[in-house]
Amino acid sequence: MSLATINHGLAPAARAAPTAPWWRGASIYQIYPRSFADSNADGIGDLPGLAARLDYVAELGVDAIWISPFFRSPMADFGYDVADFCDVDPIFGTMADFDHVVARAHALGLRVIIDQVYSHTSDQHAWFAQSRQSRSNPKADWYVWADPKADGSPPSNWQSVFGGPAWTWDARRGQYYLHNFLPGQPDLNVHNPAVQDAIMDTMRFWLDRGVDGFRLDAVNFMMHDPSLRDNPPAPDDGRVRTRPFDYQQKLYNQSHPDIVGVLERLRQVAEGYDAAFLLAEVGGERAHEEMRLYTEPPARLHSAYGFMYLYADALTPALVRAAEVLWPDAPDHGWPSWTFSNHDAPRAISRWSGGRDLDRWARLTLVLLATLRGNSILYQGDELGLPQADVPFERLQDPEALTNWPLTLGRDGARTPMPWRAGEPHAGFSPVEPWLPVDPHHFALAVDQQSGREDSTLGLARRVMRMRRSAAALRTGAILFHEAADPLLVFERRHGAERWLCAFNLGSAPSDWRLPDGWSVVEAVNGARADAPLPGLGALVARQR
């Protein structure tokens, strides 16, 4: 094997690295609270259930939890339509329950990150209720309102992510309002300084309650083009288009240059609180460019993630290399975060396995996620090797799935309840029928079936998360790719004199690659051995002796 490498920002060994903040290289466990643990037998997960399971999360060896929305909401988009940014929805519990989650997490050494949605609210938010009353009230300009065209049609051709025009008529004002998502999710006018001030106050509210950071939803949707120019058509790239949204280049309904100034204001607020962390979600055709823009040091967000892995149909060495090249280790670049699965995308092993060798794919991807440069975001259930759940049409809840069925699977299959105990109804998530069904294939993968077994997928997840946490090279070190023929992926992680070698066979046939001399195996999965060719879907992590 050639030891020629591609160097992506390797720091000279003699240069002493400064002490990294807690979030740099962190492993973050995403909790979708609606599906994590139900404590009051209503079929919906809640904050007391979450708090009761935090010992399990801490045992994984992660640094932080990210909790998806639990705020007061009509749940048209399951919490991403916020009716009160500073209150807990009763289905999840009370503010005292949230305070207990924070206290319990901190006692276990876990940081707490929560979602914040600053591009839009629910149409049941008090701000919108006031804004729609007239064109002259104090919050009249807090949302994006516009007059119709001369023929009564919407102000622009912008399309909603969830299907149909991004404009809805409101008779009280005699105007249209903008909603890039559901009609029940009107867009805030973040160009308005008063709206920005309200956002900053919301952020301070949660930081004052002990939150350690925020995952900022749909950041590039925060501002629109005030001149309301039509989006041009998107070129036909051969992909199946399931929504009108896919037929446009999104140049004017999102990604306005002034977003950067708002992010800098958010960072200023965060700087007033010790070690607060800001993580952006950025999707769309220009996600890579915008993630780098939004995280440019020193005054913007700390990190960002996109959908490069989340929407990838296949895991290839080229995909991994391309992802890393986008984030060089340079002073003018921010810090990446990576996740293979989350609440918005089908689970990775179902996308990448072709329905075969699910357990082997689960193990390989856990090791890969733990060894990439950047933050690792582990979605609940991936540590168990859960495949995408099969949700029958009559049980679908996701508005995107219902609108676009059957051309898109929607998001429900990644949101089904966490299986805790195989021998109990609904896998121990709830004693009653849950809001989404537990997939029958998930019972055998329940926590109680894997706990205490070092050879289980859960046992592996615990080892590799702790391995990452204890190794400076894996947390914050440089990454160097070795030359290797597909489907082999080989790279080193380096920090000072510390060196780790990571090898993955992303194909099904054995590779003739062998571990070079001078390395000691720390972790090996799917039959990988130091003294043998790397088997199909084999993964091996070694440390230099």
Residues designated as active site: 217, 281
Strands 175-178 and 277-281 come out as unpaired
* Beta strand 375-379 pairing with 519-525: unpaired
Q: Burial level of 152, CB count in 10 A (0-12/13-18/19+)?
A: exposed
d(CA 43, CA 451): 24
What is the helix (H) or strand (E) element at residue 284, kind and residue range?
Answer: none
SS3 per-residue string spanning 108-177: CCCEEEEEECCCECCCCCHHHHHHCCCCCCCCCCCECEECCCCCCCCCCCCECCCCCECEEEECCCCEEE
Helix/strand/coil for 33: helix
Tokens standing for residue 436:
């989404």
Burial class (CB in 10 A: 0-12, 13-18, 19+), 211: buried
Query: Which DSSP string corresponds to 305-331?
Result: E-STTTT-SS--HHHHHHHHHTS-S-T
Tokens of 519: 């390395």
H-helix or E-strand spanning residue 211: none
544 pairs with which residues across the strands?
519
The angle subtended at Cα 48 by Cα 42 and Cα 50, nearest 5°, is 100
